[in-house]
Structure 1
Amino acid sequence: MDAQAWDERYAASELVWSREPNRLVAAELADLPPGTAVDLGAGEGRNAIWLASHGWSATAVDFSQVALDKGARLAEGLDVTWVCADATTWQPPAPVDLVVVAYLQLPAADRRRAVRNAVTMLRPGGTFLLVAHDSTNLTEGTGGPQDPAVLMTAADVVDDLSGLDVEVVRAERVDRAVTTAEAHRGEDRRTARDCLVRVVRR
Protein backbone atom coordinates (compact mmCIF):
# COMPACT_ATOMS: atom_id res chain seq x y z
CA MET A 1 0.00 0.00 0.00
CA ASP A 2 1.20 3.51 -0.75
CA ALA A 3 0.88 6.62 1.41
CA GLN A 4 -2.42 7.65 -0.19
CA ALA A 5 -3.97 4.24 0.47
CA TRP A 6 -2.87 4.41 4.11
CA ASP A 7 -4.22 7.97 4.40
CA GLU A 8 -7.58 6.65 3.21
CA ARG A 9 -7.46 3.75 5.65
CA TYR A 10 -6.61 6.01 8.58
CA ALA A 11 -9.28 8.52 7.58
CA ALA A 12 -11.98 5.83 7.49
CA SER A 13 -12.08 5.16 11.26
CA GLU A 14 -11.43 6.88 14.55
CA LEU A 15 -8.42 4.66 15.29
CA VAL A 16 -7.01 1.85 13.15
CA TRP A 17 -4.83 0.58 16.02
CA SER A 18 -5.42 0.66 19.77
CA ARG A 19 -4.49 3.57 22.02
CA GLU A 20 -2.32 1.24 24.08
CA PRO A 21 1.26 0.43 23.08
CA ASN A 22 2.08 -2.92 21.59
CA ARG A 23 2.42 -5.19 24.62
CA LEU A 24 5.72 -6.66 23.44
CA VAL A 25 7.19 -3.19 22.95
CA ALA A 26 6.05 -2.10 26.40
CA ALA A 27 7.34 -5.24 28.10
CA GLU A 28 10.69 -5.18 26.34
CA LEU A 29 11.42 -1.49 26.94
CA ALA A 30 9.92 -0.91 30.39
CA ASP A 31 13.29 -0.99 32.16
CA LEU A 32 15.25 1.21 29.73
CA PRO A 33 16.16 4.66 31.10
CA PRO A 34 14.41 7.41 29.10
CA GLY A 35 16.30 9.23 26.38
CA THR A 36 15.66 10.02 22.73
CA ALA A 37 13.58 7.59 20.69
CA VAL A 38 12.32 7.12 17.14
CA ASP A 39 9.19 5.13 16.29
CA LEU A 40 9.56 4.18 12.61
CA GLY A 41 6.39 3.39 10.70
CA ALA A 42 4.57 4.81 13.72
CA GLY A 43 1.06 5.00 12.29
CA GLU A 44 -1.04 6.82 14.87
CA GLY A 45 1.93 6.79 17.22
CA ARG A 46 0.75 4.53 20.01
CA ASN A 47 4.29 3.38 20.86
CA ALA A 48 5.75 6.88 20.58
CA ILE A 49 3.00 8.19 22.85
CA TRP A 50 3.70 5.45 25.40
CA LEU A 51 7.41 6.23 25.33
CA ALA A 52 6.75 9.95 25.80
CA SER A 53 4.44 9.20 28.73
CA HIS A 54 7.40 7.39 30.32
CA GLY A 55 9.78 10.30 29.98
CA TRP A 56 11.23 9.75 26.51
CA SER A 57 11.63 12.46 23.89
CA ALA A 58 10.01 10.62 20.99
CA THR A 59 9.82 11.16 17.23
CA ALA A 60 7.06 9.37 15.33
CA VAL A 61 7.82 8.81 11.64
CA ASP A 62 5.26 7.63 9.10
CA PHE A 63 4.37 8.35 5.48
CA SER A 64 0.68 8.88 6.33
CA GLN A 65 0.04 12.46 7.40
CA VAL A 66 -3.52 11.50 8.33
CA ALA A 67 -2.20 8.97 10.87
CA LEU A 68 0.30 11.44 12.30
CA ASP A 69 -2.34 14.14 12.69
CA LYS A 70 -4.53 11.72 14.64
CA GLY A 71 -1.58 10.75 16.84
CA ALA A 72 -0.70 14.37 17.52
CA ARG A 73 -4.19 15.00 18.86
CA LEU A 74 -3.89 11.98 21.18
CA ALA A 75 -0.43 13.08 22.38
CA GLU A 76 -1.29 16.63 23.35
CA GLY A 77 1.06 17.76 26.12
CA LEU A 78 3.58 14.96 25.54
CA ASP A 79 7.07 15.25 24.04
CA VAL A 80 6.42 13.74 20.62
CA THR A 81 7.61 15.14 17.29
CA TRP A 82 5.60 14.06 14.25
CA VAL A 83 7.45 13.58 10.94
CA CYS A 84 5.87 12.61 7.63
CA ALA A 85 8.63 10.72 5.83
CA ASP A 86 9.71 7.39 4.37
CA ALA A 87 10.76 5.04 7.18
CA THR A 88 13.32 3.35 4.94
CA THR A 89 15.38 6.51 4.37
CA TRP A 90 14.59 9.17 7.00
CA GLN A 91 17.33 10.06 9.47
CA PRO A 92 17.14 12.14 12.67
CA PRO A 93 19.31 15.25 13.05
CA ALA A 94 21.38 13.54 15.77
CA PRO A 95 21.93 9.95 16.99
CA VAL A 96 19.24 8.56 19.28
CA ASP A 97 19.06 6.10 22.17
CA LEU A 98 16.26 3.90 20.85
CA VAL A 99 14.58 2.97 17.57
CA VAL A 100 11.33 0.98 17.57
CA VAL A 101 9.97 -0.70 14.44
CA ALA A 102 6.61 -2.34 15.14
CA TYR A 103 4.73 -4.18 12.40
CA LEU A 104 6.37 -2.39 9.50
CA GLN A 105 5.62 -5.21 7.08
CA LEU A 106 7.66 -4.65 3.92
CA PRO A 107 9.07 -6.82 1.13
CA ALA A 108 12.53 -8.14 1.93
CA ALA A 109 14.62 -5.52 0.11
CA ASP A 110 12.66 -2.61 1.65
CA ARG A 111 12.73 -4.25 5.07
CA ARG A 112 16.49 -4.63 4.89
CA ARG A 113 16.88 -0.99 3.95
CA ALA A 114 14.56 0.09 6.78
CA VAL A 115 16.21 -1.92 9.56
CA ARG A 116 19.74 -1.03 8.52
CA ASN A 117 18.70 2.61 8.33
CA ALA A 118 17.19 2.30 11.82
CA VAL A 119 20.35 0.89 13.38
CA THR A 120 22.51 3.62 11.85
CA MET A 121 20.39 6.19 13.74
CA LEU A 122 21.58 4.83 17.08
CA ARG A 123 24.35 6.18 19.23
CA PRO A 124 26.80 3.52 20.50
CA GLY A 125 24.95 1.63 23.22
CA GLY A 126 21.56 2.46 21.73
CA THR A 127 18.80 -0.13 21.36
CA PHE A 128 16.96 -1.28 18.24
CA LEU A 129 13.72 -3.19 18.78
CA LEU A 130 11.67 -4.78 16.02
CA VAL A 131 8.37 -6.60 16.45
CA ALA A 132 6.62 -7.96 13.37
CA HIS A 133 4.26 -10.63 12.13
CA ASP A 134 6.33 -13.80 11.79
CA SER A 135 6.35 -15.86 8.61
CA THR A 136 4.75 -18.76 10.50
CA ASN A 137 1.77 -16.58 11.43
CA LEU A 138 0.39 -17.24 7.97
CA THR A 139 -0.19 -20.93 8.70
CA GLU A 140 0.02 -21.19 12.49
CA GLY A 141 -1.26 -17.88 13.80
CA THR A 142 -4.10 -15.41 13.44
CA GLY A 143 -4.54 -12.00 11.83
CA GLY A 144 -1.85 -9.95 10.17
CA PRO A 145 -0.96 -9.71 6.47
CA GLN A 146 -1.72 -12.73 4.33
CA ASP A 147 1.07 -11.97 1.87
CA PRO A 148 4.16 -14.08 2.66
CA ALA A 149 6.36 -11.52 0.88
CA VAL A 150 5.94 -9.03 3.75
CA LEU A 151 6.30 -11.54 6.58
CA MET A 152 9.65 -12.34 8.21
CA THR A 153 11.51 -14.33 10.82
CA ALA A 154 13.91 -13.11 13.48
CA ALA A 155 16.69 -14.81 11.53
CA ASP A 156 15.76 -12.77 8.44
CA VAL A 157 16.10 -9.53 10.39
CA VAL A 158 19.39 -10.53 11.99
CA ASP A 159 20.66 -11.38 8.52
CA ASP A 160 19.53 -7.93 7.33
CA LEU A 161 21.89 -6.43 9.91
CA SER A 162 24.94 -8.42 8.82
CA GLY A 163 28.07 -6.29 8.70
CA LEU A 164 26.77 -3.75 11.22
CA ASP A 165 28.46 -3.68 14.62
CA VAL A 166 25.62 -4.82 16.88
CA GLU A 167 25.10 -7.18 19.79
CA VAL A 168 22.03 -9.37 19.40
CA VAL A 169 20.23 -9.37 22.74
CA ARG A 170 17.16 -11.29 21.63
CA ALA A 171 16.02 -12.78 18.31
CA GLU A 172 13.17 -15.27 18.38
CA ARG A 173 9.58 -16.07 17.57
CA VAL A 174 7.13 -15.08 20.29
CA ASP A 175 3.47 -15.82 20.83
CA ARG A 176 0.93 -13.05 21.37
CA ALA A 177 -2.55 -13.79 22.68
CA VAL A 178 -5.30 -12.20 20.61
CA THR A 179 -8.87 -11.88 21.84
CA THR A 180 -11.60 -11.36 19.27
CA ALA A 181 -15.33 -10.93 19.77
CA GLU A 182 -17.38 -13.69 18.19
CA ALA A 183 -21.01 -12.85 17.54
CA HIS A 184 -22.44 -16.05 18.99
CA ARG A 185 -19.66 -17.43 21.15
CA GLY A 186 -18.45 -14.41 23.14
CA GLU A 187 -14.69 -13.95 23.33
CA ASP A 188 -12.48 -16.13 21.18
CA ARG A 189 -8.83 -16.41 22.22
CA ARG A 190 -6.25 -17.11 19.53
CA THR A 191 -2.48 -16.95 19.20
CA ALA A 192 -0.56 -14.73 16.82
CA ARG A 193 3.05 -15.56 15.92
CA ASP A 194 5.40 -12.58 16.00
CA CYS A 195 9.11 -12.22 15.57
CA LEU A 196 11.05 -10.07 18.02
CA VAL A 197 14.58 -8.77 17.49
CA ARG A 198 16.44 -6.60 19.99
CA VAL A 199 19.99 -5.47 19.36
CA VAL A 200 22.39 -2.93 20.85
CA ARG A 201 24.69 -0.90 18.64
CA ARG A 202 28.31 -1.18 19.64
Structure 2
Amino acid sequence: MSGHHDHGPSGEHAEQAATEMFEPPAWDERYAGQGRYWSGEPNPQLVAAAGDLAPGTALDVGCGEGGDVVWLAGQGWRVTGADFSAEGLARAADHVEQAGVADRVEWWRVDARTFDAGDRSYDLVTSHYLHAPDGGMVEVTGRLAEAVAPGGLLLVVGHAPSHEFTHLSESHRKAMFLAAELLPGLPEDFEPLVVEQRTRTLKRDTGPVEAEDSVLLARRAKS
Protein backbone atom coordinates (compact mmCIF):
# COMPACT_ATOMS: atom_id res chain seq x y z
CA MET A 1 0.00 0.00 0.00
CA SER A 2 1.41 3.34 -0.73
CA GLY A 3 0.64 6.84 -0.76
CA HIS A 4 -1.30 9.63 1.10
CA HIS A 5 0.03 12.99 -0.15
CA ASP A 6 2.35 12.86 -3.13
CA HIS A 7 4.81 15.42 -1.84
CA GLY A 8 7.49 12.90 -0.91
CA PRO A 9 10.75 12.39 -2.70
CA SER A 10 10.90 10.54 -5.97
CA GLY A 11 13.62 8.39 -7.41
CA GLU A 12 14.47 5.00 -8.81
CA HIS A 13 13.07 2.06 -6.87
CA ALA A 14 14.33 -1.47 -7.11
CA GLU A 15 11.44 -3.91 -7.52
CA GLN A 16 12.12 -5.44 -4.12
CA ALA A 17 12.07 -2.05 -2.45
CA ALA A 18 8.87 -1.22 -4.29
CA THR A 19 7.22 -4.41 -3.05
CA GLU A 20 8.26 -3.55 0.49
CA MET A 21 6.52 -0.18 0.16
CA PHE A 22 3.19 -2.01 0.30
CA GLU A 23 4.00 -3.30 3.81
CA PRO A 24 3.97 -1.58 7.25
CA PRO A 25 7.70 -1.79 8.16
CA ALA A 26 8.76 0.42 5.26
CA TRP A 27 6.22 3.07 6.26
CA ASP A 28 7.21 2.82 9.94
CA GLU A 29 10.81 3.50 8.90
CA ARG A 30 9.74 6.35 6.64
CA TYR A 31 7.67 8.03 9.36
CA ALA A 32 10.38 7.52 12.00
CA GLY A 33 12.63 9.95 10.11
CA GLN A 34 13.02 13.61 10.91
CA GLY A 35 10.46 16.18 9.87
CA ARG A 36 7.16 15.81 8.08
CA TYR A 37 7.07 13.39 5.20
CA TRP A 38 3.88 14.83 3.68
CA SER A 39 2.76 18.43 3.36
CA GLY A 40 0.24 18.47 6.20
CA GLU A 41 -2.30 20.19 3.95
CA PRO A 42 -5.66 18.49 3.35
CA ASN A 43 -6.06 16.71 0.06
CA PRO A 44 -7.89 18.95 -2.43
CA GLN A 45 -10.42 16.31 -3.48
CA LEU A 46 -11.47 15.88 0.17
CA VAL A 47 -11.97 19.63 0.54
CA ALA A 48 -14.00 19.66 -2.69
CA ALA A 49 -16.22 16.76 -1.60
CA ALA A 50 -16.66 17.52 2.11
CA GLY A 51 -16.14 21.27 2.41
CA ASP A 52 -19.86 22.05 2.37
CA LEU A 53 -21.12 18.96 4.22
CA ALA A 54 -22.68 19.11 7.66
CA PRO A 55 -20.10 17.48 9.97
CA GLY A 56 -20.78 13.98 11.23
CA THR A 57 -18.56 10.96 11.75
CA ALA A 58 -15.68 10.23 9.38
CA LEU A 59 -13.15 7.45 8.82
CA ASP A 60 -9.88 8.23 7.02
CA VAL A 61 -8.14 5.00 5.94
CA GLY A 62 -4.47 5.39 5.12
CA CYS A 63 -4.37 8.61 7.12
CA GLY A 64 -0.56 8.82 7.27
CA GLU A 65 0.55 11.84 9.26
CA GLY A 66 -3.02 13.03 9.68
CA GLY A 67 -3.35 16.06 7.40
CA ASP A 68 -6.89 15.10 6.38
CA VAL A 69 -7.81 14.07 9.94
CA VAL A 70 -6.77 17.48 11.26
CA TRP A 71 -8.78 19.25 8.55
CA LEU A 72 -11.92 17.17 9.09
CA ALA A 73 -11.76 17.58 12.87
CA GLY A 74 -11.28 21.31 12.40
CA GLN A 75 -14.47 21.34 10.32
CA GLY A 76 -16.33 19.76 13.24
CA TRP A 77 -16.25 16.08 12.26
CA ARG A 78 -15.64 13.30 14.75
CA VAL A 79 -12.84 11.46 12.97
CA THR A 80 -11.23 8.05 13.18
CA GLY A 81 -7.78 8.02 11.59
CA ALA A 82 -6.77 4.55 10.39
CA ASP A 83 -3.41 3.38 9.07
CA PHE A 84 -1.27 0.24 9.11
CA SER A 85 1.82 2.15 10.28
CA ALA A 86 2.15 2.63 14.04
CA GLU A 87 4.76 5.34 13.43
CA GLY A 88 2.40 7.14 11.07
CA LEU A 89 -0.39 7.05 13.64
CA ALA A 90 1.93 8.33 16.37
CA ARG A 91 3.00 11.23 14.20
CA ALA A 92 -0.61 11.94 13.22
CA ALA A 93 -1.58 12.01 16.90
CA ASP A 94 1.09 14.63 17.54
CA HIS A 95 -0.22 16.78 14.69
CA VAL A 96 -3.79 16.47 15.98
CA GLU A 97 -2.64 17.55 19.44
CA GLN A 98 -0.79 20.53 17.97
CA ALA A 99 -3.92 21.54 16.07
CA GLY A 100 -6.02 21.40 19.24
CA VAL A 101 -8.59 18.93 17.88
CA ALA A 102 -7.60 15.73 19.71
CA ASP A 103 -10.96 15.61 21.53
CA ARG A 104 -12.69 14.86 18.22
CA VAL A 105 -10.24 12.19 17.00
CA GLU A 106 -9.54 8.52 17.68
CA TRP A 107 -7.12 6.10 16.04
CA TRP A 108 -7.36 2.64 14.54
CA ARG A 109 -4.37 0.60 13.39
CA VAL A 110 -5.61 -1.53 10.52
CA ASP A 111 -4.49 -2.78 7.10
CA ALA A 112 -6.98 -1.78 4.40
CA ARG A 113 -6.43 -5.09 2.60
CA THR A 114 -7.89 -7.02 5.56
CA PHE A 115 -10.05 -4.19 6.92
CA ASP A 116 -13.41 -5.23 8.36
CA ALA A 117 -15.71 -2.46 9.57
CA GLY A 118 -17.65 -4.86 11.79
CA ASP A 119 -20.39 -2.89 13.53
CA ARG A 120 -18.71 0.46 12.96
CA SER A 121 -20.23 2.90 10.46
CA TYR A 122 -19.47 6.46 9.42
CA ASP A 123 -21.16 9.29 7.54
CA LEU A 124 -18.00 9.75 5.44
CA VAL A 125 -15.34 7.16 4.61
CA THR A 126 -12.35 8.55 2.76
CA SER A 127 -9.06 7.21 1.45
CA HIS A 128 -6.40 9.15 -0.44
CA TYR A 129 -3.44 7.72 -2.37
CA LEU A 130 -3.71 4.35 -0.74
CA HIS A 131 -2.71 1.83 -3.39
CA ALA A 132 -2.98 -1.92 -3.01
CA PRO A 133 -0.85 -4.03 -5.36
CA ASP A 134 -2.14 -5.88 -8.43
CA GLY A 135 -5.52 -4.22 -8.78
CA GLY A 136 -6.34 -4.80 -5.12
CA MET A 137 -8.10 -1.45 -4.74
CA VAL A 138 -11.33 -2.94 -6.12
CA GLU A 139 -11.55 -5.23 -3.08
CA VAL A 140 -10.38 -2.45 -0.77
CA THR A 141 -13.15 -0.21 -2.13
CA GLY A 142 -15.69 -2.88 -1.22
CA ARG A 143 -14.26 -3.15 2.29
CA LEU A 144 -14.36 0.62 2.75
CA ALA A 145 -17.92 0.78 1.42
CA GLU A 146 -19.11 -1.56 4.18
CA ALA A 147 -18.08 1.09 6.73
CA VAL A 148 -20.37 3.75 5.21
CA ALA A 149 -23.58 4.45 7.11
CA PRO A 150 -26.91 4.55 5.24
CA GLY A 151 -27.06 7.86 3.37
CA GLY A 152 -23.30 8.35 3.85
CA LEU A 153 -20.51 9.00 1.37
CA LEU A 154 -17.47 7.06 0.20
CA LEU A 155 -14.56 8.99 -1.32
CA VAL A 156 -11.62 7.06 -2.82
CA VAL A 157 -8.85 9.05 -4.50
CA GLY A 158 -5.69 7.68 -6.06
CA HIS A 159 -3.10 8.22 -8.74
CA ALA A 160 -4.18 7.61 -12.30
CA PRO A 161 -1.54 5.98 -14.51
CA SER A 162 0.54 8.82 -15.97
CA HIS A 163 3.77 9.48 -17.80
CA GLU A 164 4.77 11.48 -14.71
CA PHE A 165 5.23 8.19 -12.87
CA THR A 166 7.41 6.35 -15.36
CA HIS A 167 10.30 6.48 -12.86
CA LEU A 168 8.40 4.19 -10.50
CA SER A 169 8.60 0.42 -10.47
CA GLU A 170 6.18 -1.76 -12.40
CA SER A 171 4.45 -2.86 -9.20
CA HIS A 172 3.84 0.77 -8.22
CA ARG A 173 2.44 1.61 -11.64
CA LYS A 174 0.18 -1.47 -11.63
CA ALA A 175 -1.24 -0.33 -8.27
CA MET A 176 -2.53 2.89 -9.85
CA PHE A 177 -6.08 2.96 -11.13
CA LEU A 178 -8.76 4.84 -13.02
CA ALA A 179 -11.86 5.76 -11.05
CA ALA A 180 -14.15 3.62 -13.21
CA GLU A 181 -12.04 0.55 -12.45
CA LEU A 182 -13.22 0.71 -8.82
CA LEU A 183 -16.93 0.55 -9.65
CA PRO A 184 -17.14 -3.27 -9.45
CA GLY A 185 -16.13 -2.95 -5.80
CA LEU A 186 -19.20 -0.89 -4.87
CA PRO A 187 -22.10 -2.75 -3.26
CA GLU A 188 -25.44 -2.51 -5.07
CA ASP A 189 -26.87 0.05 -2.65
CA PHE A 190 -24.31 2.70 -3.67
CA GLU A 191 -24.92 5.42 -6.26
CA PRO A 192 -21.77 6.77 -7.95
CA LEU A 193 -21.77 10.58 -7.88
CA VAL A 194 -18.28 11.31 -9.29
CA VAL A 195 -16.27 8.89 -11.42
CA GLU A 196 -13.50 10.82 -13.12
CA GLN A 197 -9.87 11.85 -13.35
CA ARG A 198 -8.98 15.36 -12.16
CA THR A 199 -5.77 17.18 -12.95
CA ARG A 200 -3.63 18.12 -9.96
CA THR A 201 -0.32 19.96 -9.73
CA LEU A 202 2.45 18.03 -7.96
CA LYS A 203 5.40 19.74 -6.35
CA ARG A 204 8.70 18.34 -7.61
CA ASP A 205 12.27 19.39 -6.99
CA THR A 206 12.48 20.26 -10.68
CA GLY A 207 9.30 22.34 -10.51
CA PRO A 208 5.54 21.74 -10.67
CA VAL A 209 4.19 18.94 -12.86
CA GLU A 210 0.65 17.95 -13.66
CA ALA A 211 -0.76 14.52 -12.89
CA GLU A 212 -4.25 13.11 -12.59
CA ASP A 213 -6.19 12.06 -9.52
CA SER A 214 -8.71 9.28 -9.97
CA VAL A 215 -11.77 10.30 -7.95
CA LEU A 216 -14.65 8.01 -6.95
CA LEU A 217 -17.41 9.56 -4.83
CA ALA A 218 -20.47 7.44 -4.08
CA ARG A 219 -23.47 7.66 -1.76
CA ARG A 220 -25.05 4.76 0.08
CA ALA A 221 -28.84 4.48 -0.04
CA LYS A 222 -30.58 5.61 3.14
CA SER A 223 -32.31 2.28 3.60
| TM score, norm. by length of structure 1 | 0.88
1:176 match: 200
1:194 match: 213
User: How many residues matched?
Assistant: 193
Q: Is the 8 A contact 2:134 2:174 kept in 1?
A: yes
Show the 5 A alignment for 1:65-144. Answer: 65-76=86-97, 77-78=100-101, 79-88=104-113, 89-91=115-117, 93-108=119-134, 110-135=136-161, 137=162, 139=163, 141=164
Determine which structure has the larger strand proportion and give its number.
1
Post-superposition offset of 1:58 = 0.2
Q: Is the 8 A contact 1:178 1:190 kept in 2?
A: yes
Q: Is the 8 A contact 1:44 1:71 kept in 2?
A: yes
Q: Is the 8 A contact 1:45 1:71 kept in 2?
A: yes
1:15 match: 36
| 3-state SS in 2 of match to 1:193 | strand
What is the identity percentage for the equivalent residue pairs of Structure 1 and Structure 2? 33
Name stretches of at least 5 consecutive residues in structure 1 with no aligned partner: 183-187
Q: Is the 8 A contact 1:133 1:144 kept in 2?
A: no
Please list the CA deviations of residues 101-138 of structure 1 after superposition, one character each: whole Å capped at 9, or x if unmatched: 10001124532222111111111110000110002x2x
Q: Is the 8 A contact 2:135 2:177 kept in 1?
A: no
CA distance in 2, matches of 1:195, 1:17: 19
> Which amino acid letter does the alignment assign opposite residue 209 of structure 2?
R
CA distance in 2, matches of 1:143, 1:70: 30
CA RMSD of aligned residues (A): 1.8
CA distance in 1, matches of 2:94, 2:200: 29
Q: Is the 8 A contact 1:142 1:190 kept in 2?
A: no
| TM score, norm. by length of structure 2 | 0.80
| 3-state SS in 2 of match to 1:26 | helix
CA distance in 1, matches of 2:96, 2:47: 17
The answer to which of 170-179 and 107-116 deviates more is 107-116
Q: Is the 8 A contact 1:142 1:193 kept in 2?
A: no
In structure 2, relative to structure 1, the CA distance for the partners of 1:38 and 1:65 (3 Å cut) is same
Show the 5 A alignment for 1:16-55. Answer: 16-55=37-76
Please list the CA deviations of residues 23-62 of structure 1 after superposition, one character each: whole Å capped at 9, or x if unmatched: 1211221011100000001111111111001000000000
Relative contact order (C-alpha < 8 Å, sep 6+): which is higher? 2
The runs of at least 4 consecutive aligned structure 1 residues that moved more than 6 Å come to none
Q: Is the 8 A contact 2:136 2:175 kept in 1?
A: no
Q: Is the 8 A contact 2:57 2:78 kept in 1?
A: yes
CA distance in 2, matches of 1:93, 1:63: 20
CA distance in 2, matches of 1:4, 1:149: 21
Post-superposition offset of 1:155 = 1.0
> Which amino acid letter does the alignment assign opposite residue 218 of structure 2?
V
2:84 paired with 1:60: no
Q: Is the 8 A contact 2:138 2:183 kept in 1?
A: no
CA distance in 2, matches of 1:189, 1:24: 18
Post-superposition offset of 1:181 = 4.0
Q: Is the 8 A contact 2:28 2:85 kept in 1?
A: yes
| 3-state SS in 1 of match to 2:64 | coil
| 3-state SS in 1 of match to 2:136 | helix
In structure 2, relative to structure 1, the CA distance for the partners of 1:46 and 1:125 (3 Å cut) is same
